[in-house]
Amino acid sequence: MEVEESAGNDLSTIAIQDKIVSTETVNESLKETESKTPDGEKVQPQLAGSSSETASDTAAAATETFVVPSANSMEVEGPAENVASSVSIQDEIAEQQQLETEAVKNINKNSLSLLCQYSGSSESESEDTDGSKTVDNKKHSSPSSSSSDESEDEGADTGLSSSYRKCTDAILVSDAETMDTNAVSSDDDDEDLQNQAPIRTKGEILVDELPPIEELTITVPETECKPIGLIDSIVAQIVLVQSIPGVELLNLDTVLFLDRGKRPLGKIFDVIGQVNCPIYCVLFNTNQEVVSKNITVGMQVYCAPRTEHTSFIILSELMRYKGSDASWMNDNEPPPHMVEYSDDEAEKIAKRNRKKKSNANGERDGENILSPNVHYDAEYIEVDYQYQTTTVVASGPGGYTVKPETTGLNIRTQRNVPRLGLMLVGWGGNNGSTLTAALEANKRGLEWRTRQGVQKANWYGSITQSSTVLLGTDAAGQDVYIPMNKLVPMVNPDDIVVDGWDISSLNIGDAMKRAQVLEVDLQDQVYKQLAQLRPRASIYDADFIAANQAERADNTISGTRYEQYQQIVEDIRDFKQKSGVEKVVILWTANTERFAEVKEGVNTTMADLERSLKQNHSEISPSTIFAMAAISENCIYINGSPQNTFVPGVIEMAEHHGAFIAGDDFKSGQTKLKSVLVDFLVSAGIKPVSIVSYNHLGNNDGKNLSAPQQFRSKEISKSNVVDDMVASNRILYGADEHPDHCVVIKYVPYVGDSKRAMDEYTSQIMLGGHNTLVIHNTCEDSLLATPLILDLAILGELCSRIQVRRNESSAEFVPFRSVLSILSYLCKAPLVPQGTPVVNSLFRQRTAIENILRACVGLPPLSHMSLEHRFDLPVGEVTASPVQPCAKKARVNGTATLTNGTGEKLNGVHNGDAHVSEKAVVSH
């Protein structure tokens, strides 16, 4: 109600416009006044005693403004004829018409919109000559034209009076925010309102406003066609296709075909209905276009799944999207912080996840590191870095010349973290299924009960997610540690998209149950999501893995090795397209293969390897085929098993394409302990002379390793882990001297994934004494290996965003070398670039990772000197003596080699000029 207050008195001017009357009252009135002609034809009802002119005049009178005084006065101003006389028939008519108008206004606007769009036309209730069901979406016609239509079609709905229809038109205006709420009385105004569009939300687009639909001329061979459903109905220019239950879900813009591929139906415009049996909507420009193409209800519809015209909906990805049950502004989804939850636990999880993502976006890139040598912009973290090395030259028997060297570098790290896809070869194995379950559990913040109490999802065992690095010291001289993933931007595990291959067709949920790794309560909570994930067919070659794996091989790629390679390439492309990932890591976590024989002319060069692949040479292993496919698609490839996947031809191929590779074999349990213990003993001056390692386990890895050739691959990777530590101390060992080293692995099915490892270390100590360590280690194999897979993927992706160059404007940035030796910490048999040292010492491997990450944000390497604690020195910035003029370049060594922090030469780049900074910062 509109109320105007007068400034000079206590009177209020009230525009009588809003009077509530129920919809049922209006309908009752309309029914009572409805009549029929002698011919039985329905006519629109009119109120008694009214004509069109009278109704118009009375409606105008009914909307005149009455001035109602305050409680002190009861005088009413109005039309003189109305005040002077009693209520006339015209007044009753006006009041009744006003009641109709106001009641219709209160009817739900959406319902009226649909009513006017889908009723009142003979076309909308009839069937086309081709038998297809149609609904005309045209605007409703004026009362005069609709009356003509109704007289021609006895089945048309004539239950609305003309006044009802006029009032309906008055409500349906195009913009709800600017709709005039005053009653409209004149016939001219009514006619204008009839031409206005239905109300819509902000940003809503009507079908008629869409760009024209392009004419398709695509055809496909009948052999490429797969039936997906039938045409169920045709609504105006929209053809609705009811899909066959259980068929793969098709995505928008997939082309559908008729007549077994001979002609296109059109592209999928929308998908509605249930997930297990959706309805696909195909849009045309007009209904006449549908008729002209002889498209009728009941026709069989096809897709071409193996062509570029088809894309699928990944249900697991769709399920990750969480919408709300209630609409927000303008019928849009509310932002995360505005979503309401009926379940307290769900709200708690959502808040925790938002906090995680906030940290990932805000705190993880170390932007609070204050240094004049670090610059942050929208794309990169750029650092001016002084890299220090020491060159040693022998100068006679037992003598050395030592030259410290400083190389000025620019290091830049791309800040934008891409959406990462992880494709696992052996996805359905223990490691693959456990990783997928762990990702789901951590993303949802799951909890479950065991005999020890309530357990919570975590990433224990992952250095990126559960370890810290020393940042520096605070004002009190205390060490400050932060999570490793806060130093530089890293992928959030919750955002990783998983896919992969397996020779077993079991879905990942059932594969998880088969593995018997996780607690049953946790399995039950993630099973529904994992059961919808099914591995792609993989390569099975009985010559490379144990014969006992044949019973699982029901999901394999047939054909020659080259055809298998082509299929893997196609799978990678398909995954990228459907998942929308920006970068892909492919990781082998399948069965250990036998060693491939390295032969001249077969696999020693890239050209030989590619030729041998096309010739279907028997020494091209499945893991090598996967590596070649990954490299050709510029994916990072990591070998998590001990076989020699990276034959020389593969390494050359990776370097040629600029792709990254890493391996070999996850270092998770017994071998990791060995690399620590031997390092400890040798660095303590104790001489290990005998190392005996025994294992027994009952998972499928143990079953495969029970074959001699596959065991030999594992034995080699386990035995070489002490070589560099032995070579580091020539006081203890001669040039060709090594400790005795024996490795035994046995398959015992009963113990399952819980591997038993027993080690005996015998060492010589001073004056002929001996020291013996005997260790029993129970390793839950997959729960130790799974966090390593996560770290390998995250660190591998990070390496692809780091580049360095000499501190000169003319120098170009170069990436890491193709062989990512920085990942050695996570591998039993580290793969390194040719001619570079192999490091197995766990401490040195971990320190290399930390220091490179520190360098990316301008922090010096960890020295653990702690001079401020050992001397009476103030904590803070200490400047070096100005030996060199600060503004000039000093030639330190004309043959200094630029390395990446692990002793690896970077693509043969040499440094002639080293820049000495103004200040050598000792402590930040």
Active site residues: 665, 714, 755, 828
Q: Which residues contact 122 (CB under 8 A, 6 or more apart)?
A: 149, 150, 152, 153, 156
550-553 long-range contacts, CB within 8 A, separation 24+: 552/503, 552/504, 552/700, 553/503, 553/504
Map residue 851 onto helix, strand or coil: helix
The residue among 315, 524, 535 whose CA lies nearest residue 423 is: 535
Distance of alpha carbon 368 from alpha carbon 857, whole angstroms: 10
DSSP for 363-374, please give it: TTT-TT---TTE
Number of residues in the chain: 924
- The structure tokens listed for 488 are 């530089």
465-473 long-range contacts, CB within 8 A, separation 24+: 465/493, 465/787, 465/790, 466/787, 469/850, 469/853, 469/854, 470/850, 470/862, 471/859, 472/859, 472/923, 472/924, 473/868, 473/875, 473/923
Distance of alpha carbon 677 from alpha carbon 489, whole angstroms: 33
* The pairing of beta strand 255-258 with beta strand 263-274: antiparallel
Phi, psi (rounded to 5 degrees) for 354: -65, -40
The residue type found at 608 is D
Q: In terms of C-beta density within 10 A (0-12 exposed, 13-18 middle, 19 or more buried), how is residue 329 classed?
A: exposed
The residue among 55, 64, 66 whose CA lies nearest residue 92 is: 55
- Other CB atoms within a 10 A radius of the CB of residue 796 amount to 27
Residue 89 CB-half CA count within 13 A: 7
Q: What is the largest CA-CA distance in the chain?
A: 134
* The pairing of beta strand 380-394 with beta strand 374-376: antiparallel
Residue with tokens 């070398």: 817
- State the DSSP H helix or E strand holding residue 273, giving kind and residue range, or none if neither: strand 263-274
Instruction: Give Cα 224 distance to the centre of its chain.
Output: 30
Handedness of CA 46, 51, 54, 59 (dihedral sign): positive
Q: SS3 sequence, 878-912? A: CCCCCCCCCCCEECCCCCEEEECCCCCEEEEEEEC
Tell me the CA end-to-end span of the chain in Å, nearest whole number: 70
